[in-house]
Amino acid sequence: MINKLVFIFCFSVLIPFSFLAQFNAISYNKYPYINQDLNHLKIYGNKTWNKFFRKLDRLYENGNENINIYHFGGSHIQADIWSNKLRENFQHSLPFNNAGRGFFFPFRLINSNGSPIITSSHTGKWKGYRNSVNYHQGPFGLLGARAELLDSTSTINIWFKNPRNKFDSFQEIDLFFEDSSDNYDITLILDSTILISSQKLEGHIKYQLSKAVDSLSFSIVKKENIESKFSLFGFCFDNNKHGISYHSIGVNGASVPSYLRCVNLEKQLDLVAPDLVIFSIGINDAYENDFSKESYSKNYDSLIQRIYSVNPEAAILFTTNNDSYYHRKYPNKRVYEAKEAMVNLAESKKLALWDMFEIMGGFNSIQKWYSDDLAKKDLLHLNYKGYNLIGDLLFEALMEAYKNYTTNNG
């Protein structure tokens, strides 16, 4: 109870705040175009959100809960800067709150950008496929990317870049793959003093380690010279600690229909059911000339139903698109249509919405973000500094909503 009271006190007294020396207060005076008064969640239905906040409450009070947050998006999320800022803020909100890393795809395997926190290297040749590229063949899993092995052997190395504590570690690993002819040996390579138990299941292998590690390697070897295909869909990492796992699910160029292509989404999501899902998909949908608010809404509705098939009581949050330019020349006014679709879905389905577009300053505000070195030259993406700022803003809004819950529910 003491931890919970300290936590709530920090939020009650210090918003904007710097609780436990981990969260840096947002300097609104430095960015006067940010609409501080709008930085709130609009929760249209309390049932699922109250369940999420109750679980968060138990975690902060007793420390024995596991909470899973999934953040879906396109390039904003694949870069894992925005999502990692939220991950760090959640995991640092109290000591001993750092659960496992969660789902992870080694994007370097397919010559793409990835997380600045956890990285990979490899030997052997691979070919990459993404759910966002219409002519790329599936199947796709939850992570929306697939790597196909072109050589007869490969080694994949994965490690935390700068492990800061024992929580930046792996102790339970799920490897998701498809072996068309059962013709590949997969071996987890670790120090011989570490005991490894494994269980081969449909579509994945689960490994349990006797000791936590901050780096690991996998060897994949073709057994016989016969026609066969090996595809890797990614990993899920756990450290067997209680706390919050923040799963970053992003693919460059992804739209809502991209995730509807992921035939194994539910199957893999069901292994670690979501408590909260944050949808930040839409910037690529609204970039298309044939964008239709009706189709966008219908596709999002289909994706929501697929999430609910795994956990019908998951809390769901929409974040509206950021202000952006079309081909760096024209302000993209389709942001209003995409936002209207999100608002209508949130209202009708009793979800929640965070209006990033208005909070960042509204129409044409991306120019101000670029002038203040918060956005890239393409006037579409933010930079490292900008994504961290957005992460802090969203976290502040989420924690304000949690504080309101604790105030109203004791």
CATH class of 1-99+242-410: alpha beta
Q: pLDDT-based confidence at 351, cuts 50/70/90?
A: very high
pLDDT tens, position by position, 154-205 = 999 999 998 876 678 999 999 999 999 999 999 999 999 999 999 999 999 9
Q: pLDDT-based confidence at 24, cuts 50/70/90?
A: low
Q: Can you give the pLDDT at residue 403? A: 95
Q: Write down the residue that tokens 């909260």 correspond to.
A: 276
Q: Looking at residue 380, what DSSP letter applies? A: S
By CB atoms closer than 10 A (0-12, 13-18, 19+), residue 256 is: buried
Judge whether residue 3 has pLDDT over 70: no
Q: Can you give the pLDDT at residue 16? A: 35
Q: Can you give the pLDDT at residue 164? A: 72
pLDDT tens, position by position, 288-308 = 989 999 999 999 999 999 999
pLDDT tens, position by position, 27-56 = 788 999 999 999 999 999 999 999 999 999
Judge whether residue 17 has pLDDT over 80: no
Q: Which residue has the higher pLDDT, 9 or 394?
A: 394
Q: Can you give the pLDDT at residue 234? A: 98
Q: Can you give the pLDDT at residue 108? A: 96
Q: Which residue has the higher pLDDT, 260 or 16?
A: 260
Judge whether residue 274 has pLDDT over 90: yes
Q: Can you give the pLDDT at residue 239? A: 94
Within 8 A by CB and 6+ apart from 351, the residues are 44, 45, 304, 315, 316, 317, 318, 345
Percent over 90 (pLDDT), the chain: 85
CA distance 144 to 125: 20
Query: For all residues of the chain together, what is the average pLDDT?
Result: 92
Q: pLDDT-based confidence at 11, cuts 50/70/90?
A: very low
Q: Specify the amino acid at residue 229.
A: K
The segment(s) of the chain belonging to CATH 2.60.120.260 are 103-241
pLDDT tens, position by position, 378-387 = 999 999 999 9
Q: Write down the residue that tokens 């929760």 correspond to.
A: 43
Q: Can you give the pLDDT at residue 28? A: 80
Q: Can you give the pLDDT at residue 340? A: 97
Q: Can you give the pLDDT at residue 410? A: 67
Give the pLDDT mean for 236-262. Answer: 97
Judge whether residue 10 has pLDDT over 70: no
Q: pLDDT-based confidence at 4, cuts 50/70/90?
A: low
Q: Can you give the pLDDT at residue 12? A: 43
Is there a contact between 150 and 230 (Cβ–Cβ < 8 Å)? no
Q: Which CATH architecture has domain 103-241?
A: Sandwich (2.60)
Q: Can you give the pLDDT at residue 327? A: 82
Judge whether residue 19 has pLDDT over 60: no
Q: Can you give the pLDDT at residue 93? A: 81
Q: Can you give the pLDDT at residue 286? A: 94
The DSSP code sequence of 165-206 is STTS-EEEEEEEEEETTS-EEEEEE--TTS-EEEEEETTEEE
What the block records as the tokens of 267 is 């199957």
Least confident of 33-42, 121-130, 240-249, 325-334: 325-334
Judge whether residue 1 has pLDDT over 70: no
The DSSP code sequence of 18-67 is -GGGTSPPP-TTTSTTS-GGG-S-EES-HHHHHHHHHHHHHHHHHS--EE
Judge whether residue 368 has pLDDT over 70: yes
Q: Can you give the pLDDT at residue 330? A: 87
**Phi and psi based region of residue 113 (left: phi greater than 0; alpha: psi -120 to 50; beta: remaining):** beta
The segment(s) of the chain belonging to CATH 3.40.50.1110 are 1-99+242-410
Give the pLDDT mean for 44-70. Answer: 94
Within 8 A by CB and 6+ apart from 41, the residues are 317, 352, 353, 354, 397, 398, 400, 401
